[in-house]
Amino acid sequence: MPLNWTLQGYNGLKPGWTRINFAYYISDEEFEFILAAMEFIALHGQRFLPLYRFNWMIGDWTLRQGTSKVGGMVEKMFLSFDRLRLLVAGGQISNDEKESVLLRTVSENNRRLEQMYAAYLDNARLFASFLLEFPTERQIPQDIDPDLVHFRV
């Protein structure tokens, strides 16, 4: 019974679900990006699991320090996202340029968002291509019934 395991401190066993809401004012581009990102996670998310440590007691996932299997690609990827955001936005923006950036047309901003979203997904696909398609399953603690583990991580 899952409640017994939770009472023993294994909060990582609690069944969970995700609910997603979309604000009425988000752009079509943002909506499509979110759906594409969710599809990417559904198809390739298992490749990223070895990069994280799972705590069975509290149910937290944390990025492993110095992930050696990918030679620091995780840190480089997140840094490239920040650089990419600056490049797509037109580079470093001075105070004098802020007003002109804010006055850009909606269609230009949407085009830039589309480029940024596409680049994020391209980077994620590239990163996933360096990871094992089917990583080794982790060991579950011996005192946990394997039938209670809905997803092997």
Helix residue ranges per DSSP H, 49-105: 73-88, 95-102
pLDDT at 40: 96
- Residue 10, Cβ neighbours under 10 Å: how many? 21
What DSSP character marks residue 151? Answer: S
pLDDT at 80: 53
pLDDT at 88: 47
User: What tokens appear for 121 in the block?
Assistant: 């997904």
- Cα separations in angstroms, 12 against 3, 56, 83: 12, 5, 35
pLDDT at 22: 94
What DSSP character marks residue 105? Answer: -
- Cα separations in angstroms, 121 against 15, 35, 61, 137, 149: 29, 11, 22, 26, 30
**pTM summary value:** 0.64
Query: pLDDT digits over 49-60, tens only?
Result: 888 888 888 888
pLDDT at 11: 77
**Segments in the chain below pLDDT 50:** 69, 71, 87-88, 95, 98
Helix residue ranges per DSSP H, the chain: 2-7, 28-48, 73-88, 95-102, 106-129
Identify the CA nearest to 127 among candidates 77, 79, 81, 83: 77
